[in-house]
Structure 1
Amino acid sequence: MNQKANALQSVIGVFLHSCKTPEKVVETLARMGISISLTSIHRANQSLYEESAETISHLGRCLLVGFGYDNFDVNLKPSVSTVEKLGDSLKHLMSMLVFPLQHGITLDDLHCSEDLWKKSALNPHGSVPRHTWEELLKAVQPKHTPGLSHPLNITPHAQASHTAEPAGRTTSEEFNAWMFLHDLVNHGPLYFASFRSEIGQPPEVESIPLVETPITPMHAMDVNNSTVAGNIGAIKQILAQAGIADIHNPEFVGIDTKDMRDVKDYIVLFHGDLGTGEHIQSLQLRCSIESSPWRRFQFVIFILGLFHVKMACADAIWRIFIQSLNGCLDETCMMEDITILRPKETGTISSKPTFRQMHQVIQHTGICRRLDCWRVEAAQRNPLHTSLEEFAKSKSSLNELQSIAVIATRKYVASRLLGRLRRQPTGQRDEQWENATLLNKYCLLYEELLYAMNHGDIGRVEANFIPWIHIIKVVGKHKYTTHLTQYLYSTRFVYPPGLSRTVRYNILVNPTGKNGKWRAVDWCVEFNNLQTKSEHGGEGSNRTVARIIKESPLIQVYHDAKEKISNNILLDHLTSAHADPNMARTFESVSRHLAEATPHKIKPGRQTAFTIDDMIDKGAAKLPATPVPVAEIELDDIVGDGLSAQPDADDIIIDL
């Protein structure tokens, strides 16, 4: 370390560079002794660049790492058009990140490449494990948990008949009851807020141990990973940066491999979106005839990013309840809620909403409808409780509220009884009530997925996959069905126990080490892309592909420099972490509409313009008896249209 270096000046210099400060300002501050000079800033960046390359290589050579990568587009508009710059200003690059595998993972857990090849459907001499859907469900679904004691369980259409409650409830039913109570406490009358610190959290199924996982950006590449050849180049360049190779392969003859780690019989985890996964599966299919494990990419294990799975689930709800024009005609439909929640965005939401729009609409609609269920249930128990405010005056205890929440879960959320109810005579049915219970069910499924991902409850995440596999199969997102099924099947029946635990416990990471801040790896990649485009996108001579590639591993360094300066100089008035908007009056408007439309009060003979099918039952009928390995699907089924849309800035920020 240079004893003459001024750490504060150096940090300020990097801070000024990261903020794209004009050179004249930097030179002025340098002459004032506040910052290092412009030349020193460039030297510091070069030193940081070389240090980052060594850090990535050192981290990769231990093999106990996972990689995530995805393409991103950045618009580099020239200030003045020239003959050399008449091409498209939109540049297609690829970003990558690396993170250490946590939770006690060892090299022995990854030493199974040859064993997996023997079980692979790509191996003409392999023996693929065969198990039925029933076996998979049994392996994934958590056991029932004891329910809270309460006297009654009221069946949906026979509100006057009382039957004994089953001895236990599923983890989803436990979560639904907790969610009902959570919404009442956080969005209901003020009295219920007194229980906020007492309701706790829903029971854990299988939580990943809380530990901070550092995310290290790698050097971006000018590679198009939307093709099989592009993915081959991408994977090889990722491994080259990480210092991983098959040093005995003829491909590395004449190359100095003394600082490289031999992949041997180990596997390497790659995270990405659906498009990335499909192209990796395709290249493995095409290269499966090669003789060496390295050339057939036998060591590659792809893990589907859960951020894009969440986007697919939100899109499925849109397809079920909003896409059809007939589905928006009833006064109790979801679109009627949206006209109050987002009156100026109904056109966009009904045609092509963003993920952020649907994400918030699902949450807000679900909250309002669950509050309406509370209102209806309270009025049925006591006719004097005509509103939640009147119900609050009864000063119900927490135990009483928990009991009512359990009953509301069974009463206003569609269950397996729905099919039997729909076989009743038309005059005895309330078709709009049936649709409303399905909407409550799917909103709660989405909420459960969000909660499980944010809290690192991998057991709950995987159990939640089962209904979503059925739902997204029916709405036409077959590729997500295939990859989610393959993930569950592989972690239960194909991977050795050590690798299965490695995959399951590292599909989510926690960059901050804080509870409730777990993130999908593909979200981290997208967030890195967003920061890169924010730093380097735009107009000017400095906006070049070469500079993006060179400074891409320094994105986190720039972020840290900004944070240090902001904290030390108390720039606390500058923030992007805005408070949630006050939705109280908006929710009141939706609640008044629901009180008039009465979606949760049965009116025998009420018909609907559009019957919402039970997508879980419908999807179960479409699935094969035995899950099919991805490799057995025709190549044309893997590569084609319909890949997941790229999230925009708002879609990524909504998870911060």
Structure 2
Amino acid sequence: MHSDKHWSGPKAQKPGQEPSAGSFRGDCVLANSILRLRDSLWHYEFIYAVADGDIGRAMQVMSVWQFTFTGSGASKYSTELLSLACSFLYEFPESLRTLIKNNWLCNFSGLPGCWFPMDLMQEHHIRELKNKSQRRDQDFEGRFFQKVISRNTRWLTQIRSTINREVTLEDRSTSHGRAKRPATLNRLQASLKGEEVHAFSPGRSFGWLARDDLITGQKAMPAKVSAFLRRTLESGYDWAEATELGNEMQPEDLGIDPADGTEEDIDVPLPPMVVDGELFVGEALDQSTFDESFDVAHSEPLLDLE
């Protein structure tokens, strides 16, 4: 059974913007699944690249996300990536581009597969500093805090984890729902197999066709770039103000249904790791696992890693 409706979150897409499910003669269910798998593969390629310390691969994915964020109505992320792209292409000298790329990721352990973004490292350190500043006799302005604690945040965290482990008092896990994941995956696999989602069935449809954010973003990009250039090239230009205006640009200004553009604040995740070729994402780790590679790096020689 075909439908003239086309998926765009809670609301139907405006007629004429994209081919409707009714005009699609293939398998809508399989097409939706393939689109989801494609977007997921981009995501996994990015986190693999970060964990491997390959900033070039990560930037390649970011160049694709520039369009998918625009197409999904995520204006804040889209504006940030557009600003970054313009800076790399037209403003930053070669020396600055190299400096940024060489310092985008960091690896405390020196072990393969344990790279993570520098800004994520800063977020974790800020959290640790906030925890240590709760004492009434300590504050960020104090000399001891500035000269000792702030410069050794990572080591102090590692010492705490090491002591807890040696006395068999492990750090409390910050991971939730990990034990339920295998059961959830099993139910999902059974459902996909039972519905034969990945077997081609001409004319099959559940009543909606997923929107391709990449194609939608490509169509909306000229308007996005024009608005960005108009703000940045006008006299009395203020970068911070222009960026804020770009973040406030409404999805409907680009011809995009705002229903899909909701952006929520999330907690700072732990970085992904690649261990023996297997990727562990942040939600599958806890802080003690995150610290373990740091312990190994300083208890075993790394000279023979090559």
Q: TM-score, normalised by structure 1?
A: 0.32
Q: CA deviation at 1:470?
A: 0.7
- The AA in structure 2 aligned to 1:590 is L
In the alignment, which of 606, 610, 631 is matched to residue 232 of structure 2?
631
Q: Deviations over 1:524-576 (max 9, x none)?
A: 12101211232234xxxx437x6243225504536535644764796252334
Contact 1:491-1:504 within 8 A present in 2 as well = no
Aligned match of 1:594: 192
* Structure-2 separation of matches of 1:556 and 1:527: 14
Structure 1 residue 622, shift from structure 2 partner: 1.2
1:534 is aligned, of 126, 131, 139, to 131
Query: In structure 1, what is the Cα distance between the partners aligned to 2:87 and 2:61?
Result: 17
The answer to whether residue 113 in structure 2 is matched with residue 516 in structure 1 is: yes
- In structure 1, how many angstroms separate the alpha carbons of the residues matched to 2:9 and 2:21? 26
Separation in 2 of the partners of 1:582 and 1:446?
22
Distance 1:507 1:424, change over 3 A: same
| Deviation per residue, 1:404-430 (Å, 9 max, x gap) | xxxxxxxxxxxxxxx99x89954x322
Separation in 1, partners of 2:152, 2:233 = 44
Q: Which runs of 5+ in 2 are unaligned?
A: 1-6, 250-262, 272-281, 291-306
Residues 1:621 and 2:219 are matched in the alignment? yes
CA 1:533–1:610: 2 relative to 1, 3 Å: farther
AA paired with 1:430?
D
Q: Offset of 1:581 from its aligned partner?
A: 4.2
Q: How does 1:364-375 map to 2 (within 5 A)?
A: none
Name the counterpart of 2:304: none
Letter in structure 2 aligned against 1:575: E
| TM superposition shift of 1:521 | 1.9
Q: Conserved in 1, the CA contact under 8 Å of 2:161 and 2:170?
A: no
Task: Assess, with a 3 A threshold, how the Cα gap between structure 1 residues 598 and 631 changes in structure 2: closer, same or farther.
Answer: same
> Aligned equivalents of 1:543 and 1:646: distance in 2?
30
The letter for the 2-side match of 1:648 is D
Q: Which residue of 2 aligns with 1:469?
A: 66
Relative distance call for 1:618 and 1:650 in structure 2 (3 A) is closer
Q: Does 1:549 align with 2:146?
A: no
1:648 paired residue number: 267
Q: Quote the offset at 1:440 in angstroms.
A: 0.7
1:607 match: 205
In 1, are the aligned partners of 2:67 and 2:218 still within 8 Å (CA)?
yes
Do the aligned partners of residues 596 and 642 (structure 1) sit closer, same or farther apart at CA in structure 2, a change above 3 Å counting? farther
Long gaps (5+) in structure 1: 1-320, 328-418
Q: CA deviation at 1:325?
A: 7.3
Q: Which residue of 2 aligns with 1:446?
A: 43
Change (3 A) 1:543 1:650: farther
The one-letter code of the counterpart of 1:622 is A
Alignment of 1:11-160 (within 5 A): none
Report if the CA contact (8 A) 2:69-2:75 is conserved.
yes
Specify the alignment match of 1:488 in structure 2. 85
Q: In structure 2, how many angstroms separate the alpha carbons of the residues matched to 1:481 and 1:638?
A: 11
- The structure with the greater share of residues assigned to strand is 1
Partner of 2:168: 573
Quickly say closer, same or farther: Cα 1:570–1:468, change in 2 above 3 A.
Answer: closer
- Take 2:131 and 2:99, find their aligned partners in 1: how far apart are those partners? 33
Q: Structure 1 residues 506 and 650 mapped into 2: Cα distance closer, same or farther (>3 Å)?
A: closer
Q: CA deviation at 1:604?
A: 1.8
In the other structure, the counterpart of 1:116 is: none
Which whole-Å deviations, capped at 9, do the CAs of 1:361-395 have from their partners, x for residues lacking one?
xxxxxxxxxxxxxxxxxxxxxxxxxxxxxxxxxxx
Q: Deviations over 1:166-204 (max 9, x none)?
A: xxxxxxxxxxxxxxxxxxxxxxxxxxxxxxxxxxxxxxx
Given that 2:125 and 2:153 are in contact with CA atoms closer than 8 Å, whether structure 1 keeps it comes out as no
Cα 1:324–1:572 shift into 2, 3 Å: farther
1:588/1:497 CA distance change after superposition, 3 Å? same
Cα deviation digits, residues 24-66 of structure 1 (max 9, x gap): xxxxxxxxxxxxxxxxxxxxxxxxxxxxxxxxxxxxxxxxxxx
**Offset at 1:481?**
2.0
Greater alpha carbon shift after TM alignment, 503-512 vs 581-590: 581-590
Q: Hey, what's the Cα distance between the residues in 2 that align with 1:323 and 1:423?
A: 15
**1:525 aligned residue:** 122
Q: Who is 1:324 aligned against?
A: 10
- The letter of the residue matching 1:513 is G
Q: Provide closer, same or farther for how the CA distance between residues 591 and 489 of structure 1 changes in structure 2, counting only shifts above 3 A.
A: same
Paired AA for residue 193 in structure 2:
A
Aligned length: 239
Q: Which residue of 1 aligns with 2:297?
A: none
Q: Larger radius of gyration, structure 1 or 2?
A: 1
Offset at residue 510 of structure 1 (A): 1.9
Deviation at 1:441, TM superposition (A): 0.8
Cα separation, partners in 2 of 1:543 and 1:326, compared to 1, 3 Å: farther
Larger relative contact order (CA 8 Å, sep ≥ 6):
2
